[in-house]
């Protein structure tokens, strides 16, 4: 029997496995090509997305800086709106994009203003017409020049012609949450911002005279009964007074601090009720003198003044030649107004030096010629009249200082008879005895009071349950009134 040794019938032939291997290699190459395209695509998308993210970050810095700079200028006046726009434009011009290679082109359409950080945004022209309560600025880079947000794509455009470029933008809102005035308002004694008092040419601001002490609870420019108001610190300026929002336990902490939420300002309205509940709040005011025994305030949030000396009118520390007859100028009802003997023009013929009360503890009279409309008072104050000229300002009566009157003022002068530092109460704060008090147009109808200005009044002595004796020291500037600017995303 023969044996067939032919291999062509062998079940172990290698041709079939080789063909399978070649097919597998081809499939792997195709799969690798597809995966490579996908990887390159994702890398491209990542690069384009990274460039868009970086542009977004750059524009966010532009928006943040411009909004912050604009909010710093909002002081409740039309000029403040214009200054805010100019500040935003300047801030935008110095902030570059495209990795520092391109400059932004400003447009007024990019900024808007509001009384709230969340709604009610107004264009520049509308805000300028009603600036009183505006405290917030919003900057949107989408309304700058179109190229600032356009990012040319490198890989996305392969997917679609519509993706040749992508636009990104940013926005920022900035504003002040607090204002530095007490929730106490009084009547402006005149609607005139600044006037020259004849014949001396003394500066009179909203009817008040610098260096004259007033009882803030005994004034009314439109009647013979006292008119004073407690400000609602919770609701927005000009809104109806909320039930209980002007109660002493609500208002008290703001009286302690001397600041409150930014609910209104110069040229706008405040929500008020009357009268100011002094009997419940005078101890809160007296934290400025380092008085905390009643527990009304905490010295950490309501520090004392650096000088808590009480300038009592009949004390040996008086710097006046004639002994004052009271802590402030004597009250007077004249021409249907509750005012003082220092106010009528001319002075009442029967005035005596004693009737003008204690004067010039913190402020000195200044000439009207020092005042320039629209220009804030210098930080060092106006140059005052020389003490030798003071008696002529108040004739008849003509109170005058002693020859030992200090070169500055008793409050500022570091002599023991005029100085008393607080004891063991944290970090005292200079000028804390100065109350920033809204001056409103009287009479006030209902719960909305029109704010004409913010007066600065220096407490000469601690308040009582019925009186706040304070010396008029001028009008507070907008920048000094507003608290720290904060960003709202």
For the chain, give every domain's residue range: 23-176, 181-482
DSSP letter (8 states) at residue 330: P
Mention every residue, 6+ apart, whose C-beta is less than 8 A from residue 119.
none
pLDDT tier at 153 (50, 70, 90 boundaries)? low
Which is more confident, 58 or 471? 471
Which position has the higher pLDDT, 117 or 342? Answer: 342
What was the pLDDT predicted at 310?
95
Identify the weakest region by mean pLDDT among 156-160, 404-408, 458-462.
156-160
Question: In the prediction, which pLDDT does 1 show?
Answer: 45
pLDDT higher than 60, residue 325 = yes
Determine contact, residues 234/245, Cβ cutoff 8 Å.
Answer: yes
Strands 184-187 vs 434-440: parallel, antiparallel or unpaired: parallel
pLDDT digits (tens, 9 = 90+) for 127-146: 999 887 788 999 998 888 76
Tokens linked to 317:
């520390």
Is the pLDDT assigned to residue 53 strictly greater than 60?
yes
pLDDT at 483: 74
Helical ranges in 73-120 per DSSP H: 78-94
Q: Which two tokens stand for residue 184?
A: 């106490």
Instruction: Supply the pTM of this predicted model.
Output: 0.77
Least confident residue range of 39-43, 236-240, 425-429: 236-240
pLDDT of amino acid 2: 47
Pairing of strands 448-459, 434-440: antiparallel
Q: Return all residues near 383 (Cβ < 8 A) that are at least 6 apart.
A: 366, 367, 370
Q: Measuring CA to CA, which residue among 94, 70, 92 is closest to residue 83?
A: 70
Mean pLDDT score across all residues of the chain: 86
CA 69 to mean position of chain CA atoms: 13
Contact between 168 and 89 under an 8 Å Cβ cutoff? The reply is no
Q: What is the pLDDT of residues 446-464, one digit of tens each?
A: 888 999 999 999 999 999 9
Looking at the predicted structure, is the pLDDT value of residue 317 above 70?
no
Whose tokens are 């600036």? That residue is: 131
Confidence category of residue 341, pLDDT binned at 50, 70, 90 = very high
Q: How many CA atoms lie within 13 A of 52 on its CB side?
A: 19
**pLDDT average, residue stretch 402-414:** 90
| Assigned token pair, 231 | 């400000």
pLDDT at position 25? 66
Q: Which of 75-79, 227-231, 315-319 has the highest mean pLDDT?
A: 227-231
More confident residue, 98 or 475: 475
The secondary structure of residue 359, as a DSSP letter, is B
| Distance of alpha carbon 414 from alpha carbon 433, whole angstroms | 16
């Amino acid at each position: 029997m023969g044996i067939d040794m032919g291999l062509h019938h062998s079940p172990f032939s290698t041709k079939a496995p080789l063909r399978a291997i070649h097919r597998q290699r081809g499939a792997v190459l195709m799969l690798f090509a597809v995966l490579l395209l996908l990887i390159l695509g994702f890398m491209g998308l990542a690069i384009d997305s990274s460039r868009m993210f970086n542009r977004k970050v750059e524009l966010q810095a532009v928006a943040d800086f411009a909004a912050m700079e604009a909010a710093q200028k909002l002081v409740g006046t039309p000029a403040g709106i214009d200054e805010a726009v100019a500040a935003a434009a300047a801030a935008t011009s110095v902030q570059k994009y495209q990795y520092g290679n391109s400059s932004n082109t400003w447009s007024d359409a990019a900024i808007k203003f509001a009384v709230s950080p969340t709604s009610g945004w107004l264009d520049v022209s509308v805000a300028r017409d009603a600036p009183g309560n505006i405290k917030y600025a919003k900057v949107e880079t989408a309304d700058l020049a179109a190229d600032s947000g356009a990012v040319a794509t490198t890989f996305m455009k392969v997917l679609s012609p519509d993706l040749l470029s992508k636009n990104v933008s940013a926005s920022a809102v900035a504003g002040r949450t607090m204002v530095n005035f007490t929730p106490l308002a009084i009547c402006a004694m005149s609607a005139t911002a600044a006037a020259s008092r004849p014949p001396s040419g003394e500066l009179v601001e909203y009817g008040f005279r610098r260096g004259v002490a007033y009882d803030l609870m005994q004034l009314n420019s439109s009647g013979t009964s006292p008119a004073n108001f407690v400000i609602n610190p919770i609701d927005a300026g000009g809104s109806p007074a909320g039930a209980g929002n002007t109660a002493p336990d609500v208002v008290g902490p703001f009286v302690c601090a001397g600041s409150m939420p930014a609910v209104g300002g110069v040229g706008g309205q405040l929500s008020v009720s009357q009268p100011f509940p002094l009997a419940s709040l005078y101890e809160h005011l007296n934290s400025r003198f380092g008085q905390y025994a009643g527990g009304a305030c905490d010295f950490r949030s309501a520090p004392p003044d650096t000088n808590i000396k009480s300038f009592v009118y009949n004390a040996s520390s008086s710097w006046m030649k004639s002994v004052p007859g009271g802590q402030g100028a004597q009250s007077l009802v004249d021409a249907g107004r509750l005012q003082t003997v220092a106010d009528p023009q001319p002075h009442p013929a029967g005035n005596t030096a004693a009737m003008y009360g204690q004067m010039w503890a913190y402020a000195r009279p200044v000439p009207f010629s020092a005042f320039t409309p629209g220009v804030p008072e210098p930080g060092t104050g106006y140059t005052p009249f020389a003490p030798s000229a003071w008696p002529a300002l108040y004739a008849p009566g003509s109170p005058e200082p002693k020859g030992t009157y200090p070169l500055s003022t008793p409050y500022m002068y570091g002599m023991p008879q005029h100085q008393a530092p607080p004891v063991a109460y944290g970090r005292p704060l200079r000028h804390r005895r100065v109350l920033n008090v809204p001056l409103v147009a009287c009479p006030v109808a209902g719960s909305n009071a029109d704010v004409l200005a913010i007066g600065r009044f220096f407490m000469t002595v601690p308040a009582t349950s019925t009186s706040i004796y304070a010396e008029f020291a001028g009008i507070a500037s907008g920048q000094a009134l507003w608290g720290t600017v904060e960003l709202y995303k």
